[in-house]
Every structure is written in structure tokens, then in C-alpha cells.
Amino acid sequence: MISLEQAHQFIEKRLAEIRFPEEPSNLYKPVQYILSNGGKRIRPSLVLMGANVFTDDLTPALNPAIAIEIFHNFTLLHDDLMDNSLMRRGRDTVHVKWGSNVAILSGDVMSILANQYIADVSNEILDQVLEVFNQTALKVCEGQMMDMEFEDRIDVSVDEYIHMIELKTSVLIAASLQIGALVGGASEKQAFELYEYGRLLGIAFQLQDDLLDSYGDSKTFGKKIGNDILTNKKTFLMISALENAGPEDQKELRLWLEKKQYDPVQKIREIKKIFDNCRIRELTTTKINDYFRSSLDKLNKINVEDQRKSVLRDFANTLMKREM
């Protein structure tokens, strides 16, 4: 069975082989740039790992995997523009380096390139794969729109939030596994079971990201701690605090959310104090573990030899232990 690390290497190798047209250079250089960002390649690796549950021949899964990675980076490119994020993985974002128009158009091109790569599956499963891919792509856009809309709202519920991260983050992880499974010869039912494993795992993963953003160790997490708090992000933690805090904390939390001028260190400290008062860390951890366990349940129920599921089981277990 292929390991996550091996899958990652296969993806990097295949990505490095792609030759984009030379002209118009302003269109394809940003594509090359963002695809060489040294990401973890989790989604395309999951395509290979999903296929590997059902077959040892992973070659047919390579181009669909590349499709997923190109699509994912297309969404990052346009999201960075919409959020006006200046940096990604330590480098200027595309719109900073080339301007908004190039960012829009290069993103559009990536979305089309993804369609070309995803279409490279056998004719017998082409319509199924396309249906999964297109449905998923729509959901990712819906999730991004909800995320943007939540910025201006203070009354987002936990259910709405979970639905949003399911759309924005989790369905693409799920679809990666499902498409890999279909390419690997799984039945529709089996492929959908793998989708469900991925969907629940993806929600757990995003909630964990929320938790680490406030309670992680900046060295192991790789980002500054407290960024979500400073940007008033309606994460699971913030929403739960707004729902659960007592009257005093409630009032103070809302004051912090409205304050325009503040000392960042103080804001992070004070809001985390409120989080602690309503045991947000424990609440979130419980929720994360619920999702991890449900995802493993789904995986266990898939009717294939147990050993073929070992890599995905390890993957979930490793994620679950991501360091605080």
C-alpha cells in the first residue's frame, strides 16, 4: 500500500512534469507559480490513496489527482484575491504579484485545466466522475460565499458553521477519495462510503484547525496563534462562546468584536480568557473527536479487506493527534 509520503512524492513528480503553454505568459506563469507553492498535496494524495483501497495500479488515478490539486489551488487563488490576503506559504499571492485582473483570469484558466485533467478517466466512469467533481466544485463556491457572508453576521449558529466548513473544505477532501475510489474500480456504494469517511474527517480537520489557531503551538502549527481571534472570524470557538458565555462574558466578547483600536496581544488574551470560562477548548476537542470517530466508523464499514484500509486509518489517527 502507498503511504501518504509516497503519494505526495508521486504528485510532486507529476506536477513537475506538466508543461503549460508559453504564451500568453501572464496567463500561465501565475498557474505555474501557485502550483509550485510546496503545499502538502493532501487532496491529490487522497485520490491516490482512495484508488489504492481498490487497486494496485495507481497510474490512472494520477491525472484525476492533478485535477483536484489544480482545482484546489484555483480556489485558493480566487479566495486570496477576494479576502485580499497578501501572502500564502511565505510568498506574495498572485494578485499581489501580478494584479487582480491576472489573478481573475489565471484562476479561470486553472478551473478549466482542472476540467481537462478530471476528464482523463475511462469512458465507463467519466459521467460519474464528472458529476461528483462538478457537484463538489459548486459546493466549494457555495461554502466560500457563506464564509464571506458570515463575516458581517454575529448570529451564525453552530449548525450553519458546520454546514459552511463542510461545503468549503470538507466535500473536496471527500470527493478526492470518492473519485480515487471510482477510478480504482470501487462500486458506487463503496465510493460513496469513502466519501462519507472523508466528509467527516474533513469537518474534524477544519475544527482542529480552528482550535489550533487559538490554542496551538505556533512552531508546530506553522502559523501565528490568534489570527482568527484578531480578524473576528466566526469559527466554531467564537460561535460556541457567543452561544454559551454568561451575560458578563457575552457583553465583553461583543465589545472586543466591535473595538477598532486595541493591543493585539491583549485582545487574544482576553478573548481566550472568555473561551476558557466557557470551556470552549474542551467543547471543541469533544466535537473533533466525535467527527474523527464517526469517520473511522464509516471507514471500518466499507466492505474491503481490512489491510487495504490501513493507510487511511493511520491517516485519520495521525491527524487526530496533530499537535496542540
Among 134, 157, 227, 318, binds a second copy (CB under 8 A): 134
The nearer residue to a second copy, 71 or 205, going by C-beta atoms, is: 71
Please, what is the minimum distance in Å from the beta carbon of residue 251 to a second copy? 31
Please, what is the minimum distance in Å from the beta carbon of residue 142 to a second copy? 6
Q: Does 123 bind a second copy (CB under 8 A)?
A: yes
Among 105, 154, 230, 304, binds a second copy (CB under 8 A): 105
Among 18, 86, 87, 148, binds a second copy (CB under 8 A): 148
The nearer residue to a second copy, 26 or 310, going by C-beta atoms, is: 26
**Which range touches a second copy (CB under 8 A), out of 21-29, 228-236, 260-268, 272-280?**
21-29
Considering only residues 22 through 61, tell me which ones interact with a second copy, judged by CB under 8 A. 23-24, 26-27
Report how far Cα 190 is from the mean position of its chain's Cα atoms.
Answer: 23
Count residues contacting a second copy (CB under 8 A)? 38
Please, what is the minimum distance in Å from the beta carbon of residue 138 to a second copy? 5
CB 236 within 8 A of CB 275: no
Considering only residues 65 through 104, tell me which ones interact with a second copy, judged by CB under 8 A. 78, 81-82, 100-102, 104
The nearer residue to a second copy, 81 or 280, going by C-beta atoms, is: 81
**Which range touches a second copy (CB under 8 A), out of 145-153, 206-214, 217-225, 297-305?**
145-153
Closest of 228, 227, 235, 240 to residue 207, by C-alpha: 235
Among 141, 154, 230, 304, binds a second copy (CB under 8 A): 141
Please, what is the minimum distance in Å from the beta carbon of residue 30 to a second copy? 11
Q: Cell 451564525 identifies what position?
A: 156
The nearer residue to a second copy, 166 or 249, going by C-beta atoms, is: 166
Backbone angles phi, psi at 115, to 5 degrees: -60, -35
Q: Does 257 bind a second copy (CB under 8 A)?
A: no
Please, what is the minimum distance in Å from the beta carbon of residue 64 to a second copy? 14
Quick one: three-class SS letters along 287-299?
Answer: HHHHHHHHHHHHH
List contacts with a second copy (CB under 8 A).
21, 23-24, 26-27, 78, 81-82, 100-102, 104-105, 107-109, 111-113, 115-116, 119, 123, 126-127, 130-131, 134-135, 137-138, 141-142, 144-146, 148-149
